[in-house]
Chain A
């Protein structure tokens, strides 16, 4: 019984995370080949990859709060995979924008990055995720030690930048970006609360 459970929480979960990670890209590819990405395929790619990137950022950021709230330590090994999927989708997202939407029109791309706040926010998110993806290996983790933990706090900034990007690009219906923002705020809020709780319990402990 115990062995079964740990299989589900170990290998089983690893497979599940991987399947959920590649499925959206697979479906996009399949739909692309069948020509069923809709009337505006580039927009469909842009939106779907953006949505999934943000979802994986939030999923990665949810690991620690869930572990601390419910003791779900078995999630911890999958945080890196979730983060790398977020990076994978943001690369597709950026690739769609640069290569398909604007077709390597660098002057327009540069103008967008500096002039359009929602693109500035998105690009900031991407720039935060880049070093995280590069230093995601065990080797880098060892080499950087404590600084690795500090560096990887950039994940919060990436989440905030992604949410702000989505809020700022939305024309009228803010429901969907607000749902993401509320989830993000909850995740970050939980961390702050843990921190606060730790600080206030420490003196009590030293008294006893």
Chain B
């Protein structure tokens, strides 16, 4: 007899139709037609929104000594509930409510990040040591998703540039490549190949060094909830949300432009730059307007998500229609 090692993708033998049923398959076929129909109708019967377990700020450790930032917007933030119950984090499923429902399986302590490539001081560093020398800042930023919705979120984080400088990038460092944890046992969405796991993102070095770009470790004065990309995620507020990669385990400085997940998945729809741009439509929908979560009417989308003053120079002379 074969000894089988069970891998995560394998079918549990119990899920395979038993022999008796197989032999009675005509009858089975008949009842399956009925049951299948009934199940399809029952499946999404209850509207999904009410099912996600509610997380309260008190469930998360508080972060203290936060420094306010001049980069913060004074627009009023979305509620903690909106921010933690409506997420795109395909590692935990493709529905907006899936991350809130399934991300509790993620183990974020201990956590370490590998920093490699074009740096003088590469290494694997524990999260505490990565953060220790820096002051935590509160940054209230607009977040614009490529799906034409937006939120305002009070992040807590550290400028990415300040962190990168500690590792002394070489003169060859032209890009920064990020990678999310790959762990299907904890990230159930990775058990199906919806994207080419692990999730990868990248920035040009000047984008990474821009003072608006942060690595976030919290929101609403608390450590990051798992559904928001705990324990460490990128925030690039002038780009569509998918650039802001979550649960980062690797940062590599490179000479060449790195491959990025959504671009690999659908190159015509998601570019490397992904700057918020109302003039360039997604091939399947318009990017001119967005729905701010909590509001009824759509509002106009601003170039660079309203951060043009700080970042438009980075793209001087570039054709942003081509480099979308």
| Residues in A lying within 8 Å of B, measured CB to CB | 20, 23-24, 27-28, 31, 36-40, 42-44, 48, 51, 55, 59, 62, 66, 69-70, 100-103, 108, 111-112, 116-118, 168-169, 171-173, 175
Interface range on chain B (Cβ under 8 Å from partner):
35 or more
A103 touches B94 (CB 8 A): no
Q: In the bound complex, how far is the Cα of B78 from the Cα of A42, in angstroms? A: 17
B284 touches A118 (CB 8 A): yes
Least Cβ distance of B145 to chain A in Å? 10
B37 touches A116 (CB 8 A): no
B82: interface (CB < 8 Å): yes
B94 touches A44 (CB 8 A): no
Given A40-B86, A108-B286, answer yes or no on A173-B47 (Cβ-Cβ < 8 Å). no
Least Cβ distance of B273 to chain A in Å? 19
B37 touches A175 (CB 8 A): no
B45 touches A62 (CB 8 A): no
Q: In the bound complex, how far is the Cα of B291 from the Cα of A42, in angstroms? A: 10
B194 touches A38 (CB 8 A): no
Least Cβ distance of B116 to chain A in Å? 28
Given A48-B44, A66-B33, A173-B94, answer yes or no on A31-B50 (Cβ-Cβ < 8 Å). yes
A28 touches B47 (CB 8 A): yes
Least Cβ distance of A123 to chain B in Å? 15
Least Cβ distance of B46 to chain A in Å? 6
Q: In the bound complex, how far is the Cα of B291 from the Cα of A103, in angstroms? A: 12
Given A116-B285, A168-B284, answer yes or no on A38-B37 (Cβ-Cβ < 8 Å). no
Which residues of B221-264 are within 8 A (CB) of A? none
| Residues in B lying within 8 Å of A, measured CB to CB | 30, 33, 37, 40-41, 44-50, 78, 81-82, 85-86, 90, 94, 96-97, 147, 149, 192, 194-195, 265-266, 284-286, 291, 293-294, 296-298
Count of inter-chain pairs, beta carbons less than 8 A: 86
Taking CB atoms, residues of chain B closer than 8 Å to A40 are 86, 96, 149, 291, 293
Q: Return 18 A-B CB contacts under 8 Å, by A number.
A: A23-B45, A24-B45, A27-B46, A37-B47, A38-B48, A38-B85, A38-B96, A43-B149, A44-B47, A59-B41, A70-B30, A70-B33, A100-B296, A101-B291, A103-B296, A173-B90, A173-B192, A173-B194
Taking CB atoms, residues of chain B closer than 8 Å to A69 are 33
Taking CB atoms, residues of chain B closer than 8 Å to A31 are 47, 49-50
Taking CB atoms, residues of chain B closer than 8 Å to A36 are 47, 49-50
Of all chain B residues, the one with the shortest Cβ separation from A28 is B47
A27 touches B45 (CB 8 A): yes
Taking CB atoms, residues of chain B closer than 8 Å to A168 are 284
- Which are the 6 A-B pairs with shortest beta-carbon distances? A38-B49, A39-B86, A173-B94, A39-B82, A36-B50, A173-B194
CB contact between B90 and one of A70, A100, A169, A172 (< 8 Å): that residue: A172
